[in-house]
């Protein structure tokens, strides 16, 4: 099988990481507006009040809000066929529970979408990429409360109606699977996804299971609603998944690794099989976790199945097992894999893992997969003449594309497209830094507050342009 002629080459961005303009044109405060800048060694802090000097640079982002035309023009110059972007809930409904949307917010995204279409770039719209109005956390307890599902559906409905003739591809959620009752989560992960600090949750397992269930249900209801409004919509959900390897070949370790990897799939099971998995409910019951599945919920699961699976892929991990004594990798605290290199932020670099995961997921569900994120966070150095030779980035992406092509051409995985993460430098989600850069386009903005947002093409810009022009033949 060859790459499709209409293969969706492009990139992915998220509103809160690039737009800035966090409190203008009617936007309300959202969960990510309360997170400070951190670093690889110091996690971002979650604050109760906004202290702008500490929040930099999230509040200003890369000023995509005023510079989107220039940025989209650069994406078009690279030959992008698609751009995945998120619509910030708090720009449309500042508090989240209003009836009437904020017209200025809708107009902004309407203009962005029109600009993309002008350049024949397919908009792929994420409806929830860590952007929840903070009011929904304070007044309702975030996704623990079923009322929030209704507010989310109202937000979705407004967007589906407004953009039904201009947007075909929708993503209901980004990486809801990082909420897992069986894993010790870090504060930043539960906060990013649901606006709640893990350490402050009273009944951790019950709360996380409820959030996971409610978000899954919300996704299925949004898919059902989208299909009702326009049967041509392609509805997807994005998962941040990774292969989990056993530390050694002892069957106990292998089984344990399988179980850890499998945890990331229960929500995909629900959204593909049309029913919330019985094995998960049984597992919850055994742990004393209560989840009520109503008749209406069952109907929503049946009616709200996915058209495609979105896959965010950065690397793999090694499963921890009782007493495993090995070096740990930094950020996620998992075990280091001696066969793999790591980025400066401790993320493993595992191109073959992408082929493995594409095969694994495709064989499990038989649904088309869109690679919705993949990329290398690295510190770039500006040469004296202002150029950036980011060969390490080219090399990372090339190795991953080689494996993606093997999955498509040799293993016959149906892959809709490849959207690299952060085609333009933007604020890191986990650390809040600008230092951790992914882009083909450099943005003159630094963690000390300096910089004038000027955009410069890196060496990788021309490389990706050629990759797209040759439909992946020239890597």
Catalytic residues: 175, 373
Scanning 345-384, the segments in alpha helix (DSSP H) are 351-365
Q: At closest approach, how far in Å is the CB of 265 from ligand BGP?
A: 17
Q: Around Cβ 200, how many Cβ atoms within 10 Å?
A: 11
7, 11, 14, 108: which one binds ligand BGP (CB under 6 A): 14
How many angstroms separate the CA atoms of 228 and 222, rounded? Answer: 10
334 lies in the binding site for ligand BGP (CB under 6 A): no
175, 224, 269, 320: which one binds ligand BGP (CB under 6 A): 175
Name which of residues 213 to 242 contact ligand BGP (CB under 6 A). Answer: 240
Task: Name the helix (H) or strand (E) containing 441.
Answer: strand 441-443
10, 123, 377, 417: which one binds ligand BGP (CB under 6 A): 377
177 lies in the binding site for ligand BGP (CB under 6 A): no
174 lies in the binding site for ligand BGP (CB under 6 A): yes
Residue 78 exposure: Cα atoms within 13 Å on the Cβ side: 30
Nearer to ligand BGP, 201 or 376 (CB): 376
Token pair for residue 201?
């949750």
Token pair for residue 240?
């941040």
Token pair for residue 72?
């989209």
Name which of residues 261 to 320 contact ligand BGP (CB under 6 A). Answer: 312
149, 429, 441, 467: which one binds ligand BGP (CB under 6 A): 429
Burial class (CB in 10 A: 0-12, 13-18, 19+), 112: buried
Bond from prior residue into 57 cis (ω within 30 degrees of 0): yes
135, 234, 436, 442: which one binds ligand BGP (CB under 6 A): 436
Q: At closest approach, how far in Å is the CB of 302 from ligand BGP?
A: 29
Q: How far separated are the first and last CA of the chain, in Å rounded?
A: 18
Token pair for residue 80?
């992008």
Output the CA angle 211-85-222, nearest 5 degrees: 40
Q: At closest approach, how far in Å is the CB of 249 from ligand BGP?
A: 30
Q: At closest approach, how far in Å is the CB of 126 from ligand BGP?
A: 9
| Binding-site string for ligand BGP from residue 237 to residue 256, where x marks contact by CB under 6 A and - marks none | ---x----------------
Q: Of the listed pieces 28-36, 276-284, 427-435, 447-455, which binds ligand BGP according to CB under 6 A?
A: 427-435
């Amino acid at each position: 099988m060859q790459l499709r002629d209409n293969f969706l080459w492009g990139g992915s961005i998220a509103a809160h990481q690039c737009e800035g303009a966090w409190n203008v044109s009617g936007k309300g405060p959202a969960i990510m507006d309360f997170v400070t800048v951190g670093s690889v060694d110091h996690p971002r802090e979650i604050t109760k009040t906004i202290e702008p000097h500490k929040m930099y640079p999230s509040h200003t982002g890369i000023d995509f809000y005023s510079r989107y035309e220039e940025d989209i023009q650069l994406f078009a110059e690279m030959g992008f066929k698609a751009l995945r972007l998120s619509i910030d809930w708090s720009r449309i409904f500042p508090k989240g529970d209003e009836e009437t949307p904020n017209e200025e917010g809708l107009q902004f995204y309407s203009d962005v979408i029109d600009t993309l279409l002008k350049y024949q770039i397919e908009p792929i719209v994420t409806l929830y990429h860590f952007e929840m109005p903070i009011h929904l956390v304070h007044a309702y307890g975030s996704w623990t409360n079923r009322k929030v599902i209704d507010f989310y559906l109202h937000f979705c409905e407004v967007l589906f109606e407004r953009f039904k003739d201009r947007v075909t591809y929708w993503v209901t959620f980004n990486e809801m699977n990082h909420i897992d009752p069986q894993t010790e989560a870090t504060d930043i992960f539960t906060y990013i996804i649901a606006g709640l600090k893990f350490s402050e949750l009273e009944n951790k397992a019950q709360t996380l299971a409820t959030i996971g269930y409610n978000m899954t249900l919300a996704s299925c209801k949004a898919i059902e609603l989208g299909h009702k409004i326009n049967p041509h919509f392609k509805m997807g959900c994005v998962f941040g998944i990774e292969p989990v390897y056993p530390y050694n070949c002892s069957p106990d370790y292998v089984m344990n690794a399988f179980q850890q990897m499998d945890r990331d799939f229960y929500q995909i099971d629900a959204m593909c099989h049309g029913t919330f998995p019985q094995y998960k409910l049984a597992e919850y019951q055994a742990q004393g976790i209560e989840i009520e599945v109503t008749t209406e919920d069952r109907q929503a699961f049946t009616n709200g199945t996915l058209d495609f699976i979105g896959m965010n892929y950065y690397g793999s991990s090694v499963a921890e097992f009782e007493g495993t004594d090995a070096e740990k990798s930094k950020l996620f605290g998992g075990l280091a894999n001696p066969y793999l290199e790591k980025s400066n932020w401790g993320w493993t670099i595992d191109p073959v893992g992408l082929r493995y995961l594409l095969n694994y997921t495709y064989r499990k569900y038989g649904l088309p997969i869109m690679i919705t994120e993949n990329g290398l966070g690295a510190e770039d150095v500006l040469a004296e003449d202002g150029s950036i030779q980011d060969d390490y980035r080219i090399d990372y992406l090339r190795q991953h594309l080689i494996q993606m092509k093997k999955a498509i051409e040799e293993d016959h995985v149906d892959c809709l497209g490849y959207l690299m993460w952060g085609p333009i430098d933007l604020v890191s989600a986990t650390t809040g830094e600008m230092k951790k850069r992914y882009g083909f386009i450099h943005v003159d903005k630094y963690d000390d507050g300096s910089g004038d947002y000027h955009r410069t093409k890196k060496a990788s810009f021309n490389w990706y342009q050629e990759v797209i022009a040759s439909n992946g033949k020239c890597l």
